[in-house]
Every structure is written in C-alpha cells, then in structure tokens.
Structure 1
Amino acid sequence: MNSTRSISSLNEDIIVEQILRTHDPDGRWIDSKTLLQEVEAILSFVLETDVSKPLPTENCMTNIEVFDSKETLPYAISRISVQMLCPCTGENEIHTRTMFLFDLLKEYRWDAKAVLVLGALAATYGGLLLPIHLGSNDPVAASIATLNQLPMERTKFRPWLNSLSLLIKVLVDVTKCITEFERLPFKQAKLDSNLVGETMSKIRLATYWVVKSALACLQQIPYFKQPQQATESRSAAGEISSLGYQLRSMHTGLSKQVEECSTQIEEKIYQRLRNINTETHQDNQEVLQLLFSLQDDLRLQQYSRQVAITDLKEKVILLLLSKPELLPTEPFHFLLQQLYDHPSNTNTEILWIPIPTSQKWTEEEKQTFNFSSNSLPCISVKRPWLMSSTVLNFLRTEWPYRDGETMVAVMDTNGKVVNMNAMDMVLIWGGKAYPFTASKEDELWEEDHTLSLQLMLDGIHPEFNTWQGREICLLGSDDSNWVDEIKSLARKLQNLGFEFELIDLSKRTVDSTEESSIQELFWLRLESVKRSKLKRIESSNPDRVFEEVTELLEFDYGEHKGWAVIGNGSTAEKEKEKIVGKKLTERMRRIVRWGEHAAGMSFAEAIRIAEEEPCEESHTVVVPFEEGSRVVTCEKCRRPMKKFVAYQ
C-alpha cells in the first residue's frame, strides 16, 4: 500500500477547491482546544515506551463542551471511526475516502474537522495499545491483548511504533496551528487580505493532510497485528515516516504565517481597546464583542443559562474584575444584594471577569470559578481561561486593576467606560448610585453631609429600615469585658423603659454568626466611604464625613476602651452623639442609679444630661399634680429631679 505522495506534486488548488465544496458549517461549536489536549494526552500515554509511567488520574473528556450540534461528541467520533476503519488500498482510494470524511464533517469548522478525526484516531489506537501498555502489570489487560491478536512484546514493532509517534506529534502540532487560526478574531481587526487569504488556503490544505494522514495511520492496523511480517512492517513504518517529514515541513511555514496573523491582530485589538472612550459607538455591542468574543465567540452565562452578548444591549454594565475566588463570600453577596434589590436594576447587569494571578489558570482556580459562577446571580464569562491574553494584558496595564484586588468598571449603554472603579459607590449606596458615574457620586455626597446612621447601616443591618423613630446605639471595642459591661447596662436601662437598639460592631473577623456579618460589612462600608471622600476632599476645606469616618477607622483602642455612636434611625440628618470608653460606662451607670426618675426620657437625652455635673445646692420645683407623671429636670444641670407629693 502506498498512501504517500509528494506534497509539491499535488495540485493543491484542486484539493482546496474540492474540500471547499464540502464545507457547509451550520454554527455548531466544539471546544476543539480542550479536545485536542485530551487527544494528545491519550496518544502520548499509550505510545509511551515506559510502561511504568503512572496512569492519568482525571477524565476530562466529560468537560468538553459542544454547542448547537445535533450529535454528541462520542457519537460524532464513533461515526468517523467507522468510516476511517474501512479498508482502502492505493492512493486513489485513500483520497476518495478522505473526501468522504470531509463530506461527513461538512457542518463543522476547520479546526473541529481535524480534531474530531484525531479523536477517532485516539479512540482506535488507544483501545488497541492500552491493553499492551498495561499488560505487563495487569493479567486481565494481557488477556485482552491476546484475544485481540495484539503483540505484547513492543520490540517486535518498535520501528513502526516510533514512526507512528513522530507522525502523531506533528499531526497534533499542525492541528494546533489550525485551531489557533480558527480562533483568531478577524471580525475585530482587519488584516491584509493577501496575508489572510494565503494563510486560509494553507489552513484548508493542512486540514486535508491531517485527515488523510490520520486515515493512513488507521489503515496500517493489520501490520501492527502481524509484526512478524518484518518486510511489510518496515515498509509501513517508512510510509508513516515519509508522511511525518512532509507534514513537519508544512507545519514550519504554516506556524510562521499563523503567528504573523496573531501578532498583527493583537496589536490592532490592543489599540482599539485603548480607543474605547475616544470612538463613538451606537450601543455597547461592539465594545463587548471586542472584550469577550476574541476567541471562539466566548459565551456568557448566568447560573447554567447561556447568555448572548446581544442580551446586554441597552444595559449599563458593571464589569466586576477580581481573582477567580472573588471577595470573601459575605461582602460579595452584599455587593450583589446592593444592586439586585434596587428598582433601577432592570437596566443594570453585573458581568464578572475573573483574572488569574498568573498567565495560566490552575485547576484549582477553574474549580473555584465554576462553583462560584454556578451559584451566583451575576453574569460571567463561561470559559474565562480562553480569554485573549491581549485583553487580559490591557486590563492589567491600562485599567487600575491590581492582582488579587477587586474593582467595578462601569460601561454605559453606548459602550463608554464612565467610571473606572465604582466599587465604593456600590458598597455605599447600592442601586441608588445608578448610573454609577463620577458626577452621580458627587451628587450623592451633596445629599449626605454627615456620617449618618443611615449612611452607615442602610442595607447592612436587616432590621434598620424598620426602626423608624427608634434610637440606635452603635458600639465598638477590642475589649470584650467592656463590651459585656455595656450590654449589661443597656439591658438594665431597657428594663427601666428606655427604648433603643444596641449594635455591637467590635469585631472585624469573620465567623458564622449574623452579627459578625454585620460587623464585617459595616467596616467594609466605612473603608469605602473614606476612599470615596479621599478622592474629592480639598485640603483647604475640611470634610466632616471624612473626619468622622477616619476617627472610627483609626480609633485608638489602647487609649480608650471603645466608642459608641448614639442617634435616631428615622432621618439621615439627625444629630448623633459620639462617646468614648469610660465616659459611656459612667453615664450609663448614673442613668441606672436615677431609676424610675428618668422614666420618659429618650436614651440620647439621658446620656447627654448624665454628662453634666449635678447641682451642689438642693432646690425644689413645684408643678401641678396632673403634670407629676412627666419627668421634671433641673433647669441648671438638666438632671431628673426626685418626685415628692406635697399636700397644701
């Protein structure tokens, strides 16, 4: 059998024309890169001469994705294998069978055609060689090899096996070039038509030779099963070697042209990304395509549902950039809650772009991302490890993203990035900050002149909005004994009739309680408030909010036991009282000693009055009996006066 023929002697134009007539892609898509990696792993293992090499520990074939196809991946490979195993003799029959395979694969892209054929090759030779590979240590595998008339001694067919290994390696290398070219985003960057046309013609021809060479390999199975026919076996090995040398020569030229196309596209796309805000766009579609459709038309997802880029048209997009494991869980859920629980969310979407700490994703990062993306309501890139390195480099160098940090860039409905990092806006105001521009941030700070309880707690404490008109006392300390004492005094005051809520915000560490979650989010918001204010305060004009939040964030727990902020939850502008350490303890003890004489006072009023020194001289105030039910305070020290009933 002579299945080789000099490439230079073939009429390449006729071959390309013939296979083009069979090419009719219908939009189906296979993750050809991942499939090729698995095919390469299978063939490398079964062709390995060292039988002591450990077995692969993971089956990744089930993770290979197929979209819009009428047949499953195993069925497609099985269908191709059946046709490739049909006997062919002579060059004409090999060529005819090759063209039949192209007709069988007409609905697939060029990279998928080549990879599926190699998949059939891996399935066939894997099934033949695996029992031999395992037979030295596994009697069952040895028995299977004997039943299939397979030789257990590799030395009998080593020349043929070496030639097959070399051919398969170059087949994989050529297919990698085809796959890389097919994934280039030509829609996003126009190249020289001559360069693209010439490379495309070579890609088609290379696909033909991959299919034909794989078919020739499977035609040699009879020689593999009968290695005792030394002359024919050596002839078969020589035939395979000849194919390998021809394909290696083709690969050298093809890889250079594909690399040149890739380099030019990367340069053009990088420049287009830099010009996002200087160019005019009708909507956000062109920019989103530029970011997310660079390779294989990257799909978006929400849970397990596929999301098309066209679904994001006329939406304000919050681009969430982070490492694959996101923020700590609680803050990230709070971020989503801040947006999705607001009426303006109908025109807003969060799109998560995970960025690995290195250029290559680890298996752990992939597993972490898959778990998070399937359990969170935000939209995410379905296979972020396939994102273009050009886009990732752009985000790292041109945007204020730093590895391991989290940022939220805002893209308006016209595809313009209007805010490079709206993270703090979202954590402070949530959906109220829509459309998340810098001018909207200024507008919101015009409304919030003080560090009000509403600014600090709204959206963080689940019951805050139900406490309209109710007094609230925020508490913070590193001294658990002091906190316990304040809580004990608070219970005594509440038993006396004082109505207020005490919220302990002492801890910054995370545990499993609801209280710890509130504490974590509270400090996270204060840090956001400080960063937001820091961007817009002027040295000549002191900012009250900045000063107050800085005081809390930098509180000296060594000098003072802790702090407390007392105010009213009904309005954002209500004046609040801030007290530190021992002073709070002393005042609360005084109020407890007043007992029923302080009945009717508000907690904040009692705290303020308790600060004053009592009058040195005793004096009496006479009020009508019908007014005796109310608390009467001293006009000098404002403290509640003891009640006596006098008869006259």
Structure 2
Amino acid sequence: MAGTVEQQQRMQLIKGERHLFSSSDDAIVMKQILATHAPDGREVEVRPILNLVEDILRRATPTAVMVPQAHELELVEDKAQKYEVTSMLEALAYPIHRISSEITYKCSGGGEAHATALALFQTLSTYTWDAKLVLTLAAFAVTYGGFWLSAQIYTVNPLAKSIAQLKQLPDILEQTDVLKPRFDAINNLIKAMLDVTKCIIEFKELPTEYIPLDSPDINLAMAHIPTAVYWIVRSVLACASQIIALIGLGHEYMSSTTEAWELSSLAHKVANIHGHHDKKISRFYQTLVRLFETIHLDNMKILKALIYSKDDLPLIEGTTKKRVRVDVLRRKIVLLFITDLDITPEELFVLIQIYNDTHQGKVERHYEIVWLPIINLHVSLLPSKETTFDQLSSVMPWYSLQHPALLDKAVVKYIRDVWHFDKKPILVVLDPQGKVVCPNALHMMWIWGSLAFPFTSAREEALWKEETWRLELLIDEIDPTIVEWAREGRHICLYGGEDIDWIRQFTTTMKHITQETRIPIEMVYVGKSNRKEKNKKIISIIAAEKLSSYWEEPAMIWFFWVRIESMWHSKRQHGHTVDTDQIMQEVTQMLSFDGSDEGWAVFSRGLMEIVKSSAKKLLDCLNEFDGWKGNIELVGFVRALENALAPYWTHEHCTRLILPGETGVIKEEVVCAECKKPMDQFVLYRCCNE
C-alpha cells in the first residue's frame, strides 16, 4: 500500500502537466514567474556552458536503447579547456549542483509541476533569463548524463556495474521495446529544448551597440523570452521525472504510455515556440528570394535586405574606417566578398593587391567590394574571434560589415542555400540594379584581375574565347620577370614537386644539357600547392645547393596554383570539358601533376611554344638526349623535346586530381587530430591503368 502511495506521489509531478495544458490563462502563471525575477547584475558566459550541455546530451541520448561494447566508447573532448572557461565553471559548479539536487528531490518526492518550477525560479532569481535557462539545463545534464553513463559502461566497468545494480539499470535496459516510445519522446523534447535555447542565446549575443533595443521587433522578442524559459524549465522537470521514476518503479510504470504522451505534448508546445521563431526567419528568407527575382531601379532594396537595415551606419569604409550608410553603394556594381573568419593571408594579400591596382589614384571606382563575414550561429563570437574580425576589417581597403551579427539568420541561410557558400570564400557580383550577374567572380578575379570587369558570366566567357594555352596565361602578373623573359624569346622552365632527389637529378641533367647546347634556360621552382612548410624546406635546399631559381614568397606559390585551380572551376562552370577544350585539358594535367607524388616540368620559349611532362618520363627522355639533340637546330629545343617525349607516352598511367570541394556526403565539420582546427575538404579524382 505504501509503495502505491509513493508511486502515485512520484507520478504527480508529470501528470500535473494536464492542468496547464487545459488552461488558457498563461498570464497568471507568467505573472508569478516574473515576480521571482530579481537579477543582481552578474553576467554569466552561457555559450561555453551550453556547448558542454549539448555535448553531454548528445553523447548520452541513445539512438536506440542498447548497451555499447567497450570498443565503441569514445574519448570526450575537453570542452572546458577548449573554451577556456575552467575558472568560470569552478564558480558555477556549486549552483549547478544545488539546482541538480533540488530537481532530483522535487521530482522524487512528487508535487505539482508548476509549483516545482516556481520554486526553481525562486532559487535562480538573481540570474538573467539566459543564465537561468542554461544553469537549469546544466543541472539536468548532470542527472541525465550520469544515468546514461552508468548504462553505457556498466558491462565493462566494475564500479559502474555496482552502481547500475543499485539503480536496477540492467532490468530497465532489458525492456527495450517497452521503453522505446518513452525515450523517443524524451529525445524529441531535449531537441526542442536545445533549439529554443540556442535561439534565446543568439538573441542575447546580438551586439547592443549596433542594434537599437527600443525597436518593436526587439521588444517583442524580449517579451517572449520569459515564457520560453518557463516552458523549458517545465520540460527539464518532466524529463528528469521520467529518468528518476524509472529507478525502482518496476514493470507497471514501464508499461504505461501516458507519460510518453505527456512528454510529447510538452515537446509540441516547446517546438511551437521554436516554430514561431523559424516562421519569422522563413518569411524573411522568402522575401529575399522574391527581391532577387524582381527587377529594381537601383540596388538599395536588395542591399538593405542583406545588410541590417535598422542600423543607419552598418558599414565601415575601408580607407577612413568611419561608419557609413548603405546608400554609398547606390547604383554601383557591388562585389560581396563572403567568407568566414579563417581567411588565409595569401587570399587577402592577393585580393588587396588586385583591388589597389584597379583603384590606384582614381577618385571614381568602377566597382565596390563589401566584406560580409559569416560566423557559426551556434558558437558565440569569443574574444579571440572578435579580435580576428577587427584585425581583418582593419586591413581591408574596401567596405566591411560593422559586425557579423548584423547579418540576419535568414540572410545567412540564403547565402548558404542559394549562393552555396560553405567555408571557401565567394565573390557574388550585383549589378547597379541589385541583380546577381555572377554567383562567384573570385575565379575570374584570380585569373584576370580587374581585366574581368564588370565581372559578369558573359564577360568571363568572352575572355576565355580570347585565351590560348601559353606561359603568360600560367604566370600572368605573379612574376613580371618571367613574362618579360618570355616576351624576349628566352627559354624558360617551370618545375615543381616535393621529391628532392628527383629535383637534384633533374636540375643537374638540365645544367649538362644547357652547357652542351649553349642554350640558356631560366629554371624556376614553383613549389606544390597546400604544402607551405614542405616548400620552404625544398627551397632552402635549392638555394643552398644553387640548383635553380625559385619563388621564395609563399603568396606567389599559392597564387600560381589557385589560379590554375580557378581556371578549372571557371571552365567547368561554362560547360567546357577535357574532350572539347584544350585549355581545360592542359589545366587538368597541371592539377594532376600537383596531386601526384612525382615532380613535373613545363618548358617554354617565347609566349606560345610550350611543352610539359611528369618526372619519370621527362628524366628518361633527357637521359637519352644524345639520341634527339640533332633536332634542336631544325625545330628548336622546345619542339625537339616535345617530339622526343612522344614515344614515352603509354596507356599505363596513374593520375590523381585533388580539388577543394563538397562531396555532399560528409556535411559536418571534421577537426584535425593534431591542431584541433577544422580540416579543409577536398575531392579526389583518380584514374589508374597500370
């Protein structure tokens, strides 16, 4: 009899939900909650705590109710160390423990749900709304994580096994079929709670110095926050009650589906709160779509929709660093430079050079660049990132956004979904009426610089029609000295790779050939893409042993390869293939050279004569120099080498083409195991016929 009474008391906390779901008078409830709110001015950095909470709940929440084997256990990354919040967590450890104990006590002893929530709000009275929310979630994560930690490792850890036996976890986990609806409901509710919490945190993180707090939209959002916090606290109590009630209540409780329904109803209410927020984003998103489909007299509607229009001065002018209105861009060609905060120094350096060369000494510019930085909406802009943003903005000679938060969530979604931004920088071109005339002009900017103005897709196609495969296309303005050599009709050899033994053999062989033929050949080492440190080591050896000339500046090597890669992307965007386009064929072969472990070389005389080869074939051919040197007087060195290489071509090959790209399969960020930074994603094309 006593057990039945105790069980009824424990169930009361969950069953008490029905009263509020049937009542329409939420105003009375919220009046009581608001009466407890008396913040003392303390600010809690909630984002790092939320990251920890989300990590715990993600790892604890089962996709299926089952016990993993020992080999399935994974190492947990130390989030506290990552975000440098150890000292803050020390200060909050006791409040979190106290709230966790209070939740456990209230949920174990029974009681009406609203009264329990009200008591919790009284305990949290001195904290801000976002802090109340995150501390409550942290307290729940301790209980929930502890429950599932024991469940996950009790078969492989003796201590966990003893604790699990006291809690009767083996009996609980044997009831997989019965428990599935309940845990599905808990999982759904946890997801809804986290979604709404992130929205509240994102709102709290908006920079108040840039966004007016007296605007109607801000006031409306602030009025909804206490209600959202209240229902998440109620949801936490319901989830905690489910977990605590599982311990020792037996099969009668497990077989009940009523509580699963209660959780589903609560999840529905919390999801509705999040849905309201999402609907606002969706409406704004559709507005953007319609705006870009409409013909306008100028670009103001488009730009003010993209850039936070309620801030009168949302942009920073590049030269004076003063805040200015969007109107300064009226009826101009605008290039939106869209990146994250991890721009490489080489990218920024080269783009600044192109921009300055175009605008040097000119009062009226042909176009304007505006930097739109995209940040991860689920990670706060930590002080280190704020510093990075300020540093980047300070060196940019063009316009930049005053703060990343001035990009609305719907705008970021549009940029990702429609313009396909994903980590790699893009340069979206808007004509004076705000129409997108090129979804990404960065490729033509790298290839032709300001010559590509007005940076339309039609201009890009026209430039390709004028191009031929020649040394000047490869080098352009990267090294004016080499271009001058070519115009003088000199023999030039560009070579690369990272096999220093092959480099020694190749350069030594070439010295013997130049001495014998008395034909001076300017040899320049141009490195390998994405191998900055390796390039430095090889260049130091080349310099010490005086093997050849080289590019010492990393930006030159980077730009050489990024231009070739841009040629490939540009040609591909216009439908050109290896079968139908010679430049596409040559560019693809250059990229395959870079993707291999071998060396390679390109020989040229003047602007038009050009031949290239991979390491082994080239060295084999050069070693047989005596057999074909007689042709040099007839056709010249480059043509003689080209003819001599022909017999070395075979069907046997193994070619690799490695390009930055998105496969569409792995969407989440992959972190380097060594430095913990996000890894770049590449697509590997491979053809082996050996």
Instruction: Give TM-score, length-normalised by structure 2.
Output: 0.49
Structure 2 counterparts to residues 465-480 of structure 1, below 5 A = 472-474=490-492
Q: Which ranges of structure 2 fall in alignment gaps of 5 or more residues?
A: 1-8, 207-214, 312-320, 360-367, 379-384, 496-502, 540-549, 575-580, 590-600, 613-624, 639-690
The 3-state SS of whatever aligns with 1:319 is strand
Where does residue 337 of structure 2 map in the other structure? Answer: 319
1:99 partnered with 2:121: yes
Where does residue 427 of structure 1 map in the other structure? Answer: 446
Deviation by residue 1:23-48 (Cα, 9 ceiling, x = unmatched): 97979662798667534434424993
Letter in 1 for 2:229: T
- 2:156 aligns with one of 137, 149, 154: 137
Where does residue 229 of structure 2 map in the other structure? Answer: 207
Where does residue 417 of structure 2 map in the other structure? Answer: 393
Letter in 1 for 2:356: S
Pair 1:202–1:284, CA change in 2 (3 A): closer
Where does residue 522 of structure 2 map in the other structure? Answer: 501
Where does residue 142 of structure 2 map in the other structure? Answer: 123
1:172 partnered with 2:182: no
- 2:171 aligns with one of 148, 154, 170: 154
Letter in 2 for 1:344: N
* Structure 1 position 473, deviation (Å): 1.9
Where does residue 642 of structure 1 map in the other structure? Answer: none
How far apart are the structure 1 equivalents of 2:216 and 2:425?
A: 43
How far apart are the structure 2 equivalents of 1:126 and 1:554?
A: 52
How far apart are the structure 2 equivalents of 1:276 and 1:65?
A: 48
- 1:491 aligns with one of 494, 509, 515: 515
Aligned CA-pair RMSD: 7.3
Maintained 8 Å contact 1:282/1:414: no
How far apart are the structure 2 equivalents of 1:244 and 1:349?
A: 48
Structure 2 counterparts to residues 579-590 of structure 1, below 5 A = 589=633
How far apart are the structure 1 equivalents of 2:161 and 2:527?
A: 68
Deviation by residue 1:239-263 (Cα, 9 ceiling, x = unmatched): 9668536525635755765564454
Maintained 8 Å contact 2:335/2:427: no
Maintained 8 Å contact 2:154/2:161: yes
Where does residue 339 of structure 1 map in the other structure? Answer: 351
Letter in 1 for 2:522: E
Letter in 2 for 1:57: E
- 2:101 aligns with one of 60, 82, 85: 85
* Structure 1 position 194, deviation (Å): 13
How far apart are the structure 2 equivalents of 1:33 and 1:309?
A: 36
Pair 1:163–1:429, CA change in 2 (3 A): closer
Maintained 8 Å contact 1:408/1:421: yes
Maintained 8 Å contact 2:529/2:557: yes
How far apart are the structure 2 equivalents of 1:43 and 1:413?
A: 53
- 1:48 aligns with one of 65, 68, 87: 65
Number of residue equivalences: 502
How far apart are the structure 2 equivalents of 1:77 and 1:277?
A: 57
Maintained 8 Å contact 1:131/1:144: yes
How far apart are the structure 1 equivalents of 2:71 and 2:587?
A: 55
Where does residue 27 of structure 2 map in the other structure? Answer: 13
The 3-state SS of whatever aligns with 1:59 is coil
Pair 1:269–1:39, CA change in 2 (3 A): farther
Pair 1:247–1:77, CA change in 2 (3 A): farther
How far apart are the structure 2 equivalents of 1:534 and 1:51?
A: 47
* Structure 1 position 97, deviation (Å): 1.7
Pair 1:486–1:404, CA change in 2 (3 A): farther
Structure 2 counterparts to residues 180-199 of structure 1, below 5 A = 182=200
How far apart are the structure 1 equivalents of 2:481 and 2:346?
A: 15
Where does residue 427 of structure 2 map in the other structure? Answer: 408
The 3-state SS of whatever aligns with 2:427 is strand
Maintained 8 Å contact 2:193/2:235: no
* Structure 1 position 121, deviation (Å): 1.1
Where does residue 627 of structure 1 map in the other structure? Answer: none
Pair 1:138–1:105, CA change in 2 (3 A): same
Letter in 2 for 1:267: Q
The 3-state SS of whatever aligns with 1:409 is strand
How far apart are the structure 1 equivalents of 2:392 and 2:442?
A: 18
Letter in 1 for 2:161: A
* Structure 1 position 404, deviation (Å): 12
Instruction: Give TM-score, length-normalised by structure 1.
Output: 0.52
How far apart are the structure 2 equivalents of 1:408 and 1:215?
A: 49
Maintained 8 Å contact 2:68/2:152: yes
Letter in 1 for 2:337: L
Pair 1:278–1:113, CA change in 2 (3 A): farther
* Structure 1 position 468, deviation (Å): 12
Structure 2 counterparts to residues 198-277 of structure 1, below 5 A = 204-215=226-237, 227=248, 243-244=262-263, 246-248=265-267, 250=269, 257=276, 260-272=279-291, 274=293
How far apart are the structure 1 equivalents of 2:482 and 2:416?
A: 41
- 1:38 aligns with one of 55, 61, 64: 55
Maintained 8 Å contact 1:163/1:240: no
How far apart are the structure 1 equivalents of 2:453 and 2:198?
A: 39
Maintained 8 Å contact 2:246/2:253: no
How far apart are the structure 1 equivalents of 2:96 and 2:59?
A: 18
Q: What percentage of aligned pairs have identical amino acids?
A: 18
The 3-state SS of whatever aligns with 2:76 is coil
How far apart are the structure 1 equivalents of 2:635 and 2:567?
A: 34
Deviation by residue 1:275-296 (Cα, 9 ceiling, x = unmatched): 6976544996863559xx9xxx
Maintained 8 Å contact 1:134/1:141: yes
Pair 1:223–1:563, CA change in 2 (3 A): closer
Structure 2 counterparts to residues 286-325 of structure 1, below 5 A = 287-288=306-307, 319=337
Pair 1:344–1:62, CA change in 2 (3 A): same
How far apart are the structure 2 equivalents of 1:32 and 1:412?
A: 45
The 3-state SS of whatever aligns with 2:128 is coil
Letter in 2 for 1:16: M
Letter in 2 for 1:211: V
Deviation by residue 1:552-584 (Cα, 9 ceiling, x = unmatched): 8899xxxxxx996545xxxxxxxx6859999x9
How far apart are the structure 2 equivalents of 1:391 and 1:579?
A: 41
Where does residue 76 of structure 2 map in the other structure? Answer: 59
How far apart are the structure 2 equivalents of 1:279 and 1:20?
A: 48
How far apart are the structure 2 equivalents of 1:216 and 1:140?
A: 29
Maintained 8 Å contact 1:321/1:406: yes
The structure number with the bigger radius of gyration is 1
Deviation by residue 1:75-117 (Cα, 9 ceiling, x = unmatched): 6576234124234464475143232255354252xxx754552
How far apart are the structure 2 equivalents of 1:348 and 1:262?
A: 27
How far apart are the structure 2 equivalents of 1:532 and 1:521?
A: 16
How far apart are the structure 1 equivalents of 2:89 and 2:323?
A: 28
Where does residue 615 of structure 1 map in the other structure? Answer: none
The 3-state SS of whatever aligns with 1:408 is strand
Letter in 2 for 1:44: T
Letter in 2 for 1:395: W
How far apart are the structure 2 equivalents of 1:389 and 1:532?
A: 25
How far apart are the structure 2 equivalents of 1:591 and 1:500?
A: 16
